[in-house]
Homo-oligomer: A and B are copies of this chain.
Amino acid sequence: MKTNSEINIESRDQSYLVKKKLADFKVGVDNVIFSVDTKHNRLLVLLLKRKDEPFIAQWSLPGTLVRQGEPLKEAAHRILAEKIAVNNLYLEQLYTFGEPGRDPREAPESFGVRYLSVSYFALVRYEESALIARPTNNIAWHPVKKVPNLAFDHNQILNYGYHRLKNKLEYSPIAFEVLPDEFTLNEVYQLYCTVLGENFSDYSNFRSKLLKLGFLSDTGEKVCRGAGRPASLYRFDAEAFEPLKDKPLVFI
């Protein structure tokens, strides 16, 4: 309810009423970090058990608030490096979530600081990544197919990240940023199967399509994986891929 004196004050300065105040923000970065467990054919996402309120003891995406002078992408790299050690990774910005009230620390009508989340999605190699362990078991890879209820709007962020991952895999060579320098075609195939599902393509058709694109070079070396004929080791040829950059490729 407005008192008369308040109305008088307002009438002196109309623009004060009409022009709303600007919001002050803290900006967080939340990472959807995927990895492919080729042994068990599972797509995994890295989750952290929260140690603080709000949502204490609930699983969440690894996130951090952006520091003074820190670029957004660097913040994403920092939180990733704090949790796992990897050599190769793919990282790109996903989406920005900024609805008022997405963080309970913003009191509904307090008009205090807002929490905005710039999300990033990353793909790392499971076999190569070492979790930076903590005393208690508060960090773990979860199969994407059965993630629990997450803190904040993190389930929404994760779903969007999963969607983007599937698209990226079909149209960009991000798989090769995550595979070791030398790999067999079957390793590529397994990675695609795990992310996109079993029925996305037949192996022999996948092979010929991929080779016809012309940016995989056969090293001539062979490697034995248990029983069966030894497989050729291939290498991603960045130079040969260069002209294909920016073109709409389909890797299926």
On A, residues with C-beta under 8 Å from B are 20-27, 65-72, 93, 95-96, 98-100, 111, 114, 116, 118
| A20 pairs with B95, CB closer than 8 A | no
How many copies are assembled? 2
Contact between A111 and B27, CB atoms less than 8 A apart: no
Sample (19) of A-B pairs whose CB atoms are under 8 Å apart? A20-B67, A20-B68, A22-B26, A23-B66, A23-B67, A23-B68, A23-B70, A24-B25, A24-B26, A25-B25, A25-B27, A25-B116, A27-B27, A66-B98, A71-B98, A71-B100, A93-B95, A93-B96, A116-B116
Q: Are B98 and A68 in contact (CB under 8 A)?
A: no
Apart from A27-B116, A71-B98, A71-B100: 19 A-B pairs, beta carbons within 8 A: A20-B69, A21-B68, A22-B65, A22-B68, A23-B66, A23-B67, A23-B68, A23-B69, A23-B70, A24-B26, A25-B26, A25-B116, A68-B111, A69-B111, A72-B99, A72-B116, A96-B118, A98-B118, A116-B116
On chain B, the residues within 8 Å of A24 by CB distance are 24-26
* Contact assessment for B111 and A99 in the assembled complex, using a CB-CB cutoff below 8 Å: no
Whether A70 contacts B27 by the Cβ 8 Å rule is: no
Residues of B within 8 A of A67 (CB): 20-23
Q: What is the CB-to-nearest-CB distance from A82 to chain B, in angstroms, rounded to a whole number? A: 12
- CB neighbours (8 Å) of A100 from chain B are 69-71
Which of A72, A93, A98, A111 has the largest number of chain B CB atoms within 10 A?
A98
Min Cβ gap A173→B in Å is 18
Q: Which residues of B contact A70 (CB under 8 A)?
A: 20, 23, 100
Asked if A96 contacts B68 (CB within 8 A), the reply is no
Q: How far is the CA of A116 from the CA of B118 in the complex (A)?
A: 11
Distance, CA A252 to CA B195, complexed state (A): 28
Beta-carbon nearest neighbor of A170 in chain B: B248
Interface centre among A24, A68, A93 (most CB of B within 10 A): A68
Of all chain B residues, which has the CB nearest A100?
A: B69
Closest to A113 in B: B24
Kindly report which residue of chain B lies nearest to residue A95, judged by CB atoms.
B93
**A25: B residues at CB distance < 8 A:** 24-27, 66, 116
Residues on B with C-beta less than 8 A from A27 are 23, 25, 27, 98, 114, 116
Of B22, B65, B98, the contact of A72 (CB 8 Å cutoff)? B98
